[in-house]
Chain A
Amino acid sequence: MTGIILVTHAGLGESLRHQAEVILGKLAPMTTVSISYGADPDLALTELIAALGMGSDVDGAVVLTDLPGATPHNLAQKAAGSRGVPVISGVNLPMLLKVINHADKPPNELAAMASLGGHQGIMNS
Chain B
Amino acid sequence: MIRRDLKLTNRLGLHARAASKLVQTASQFDAEVWLERDSRRVNAKSIMGVLMLAAPCGAELVLEVDGPDEEKAVEALAGLIERRFGEDE
Contacts and interface: CB of A to CB of B under 8 A. Distances in A.
Interface in B17-36: 17, 20-21, 23-24
Contact of B48 (A22, A25, A98, A125): A98
A94 B23 CA distance: 14
Given A120-B52, A123-B52, A101 B17 contact: no
Nearest to B21: A25
Nearest to A118: B48
B57 interface: no
Contact of A25 (B17, B51, B52, B54): B17
B1 interface: no
Contacts of A22: 17
B48 A97 contact: yes
The binding surface of chain A is classed by DSSP as helix
Interface residues of B, number: 12
The binding surface of chain B is classed by DSSP as helix
A120 B48 contact: yes
B47 interface: yes
A64 B14 CA distance: 27
Nearest to A23: B16
Given A22-B17, A125-B54, 11 more contacts: A23-B20, A23-B47, A24-B20, A25-B24, A94-B48, A97-B47, A98-B47, A101-B46, A120-B52, A121-B48, A123-B52
Interface of A: 22-25, 94, 97-98, 101, 117, 120-121, 123, 125
18 contacts: A22-B17, A23-B16, A23-B47, A24-B47, A25-B17, A25-B20, A25-B21, A25-B24, A94-B48, A94-B51, A97-B47, A97-B48, A101-B23, A117-B48, A120-B48, A120-B52, A121-B48, A123-B52
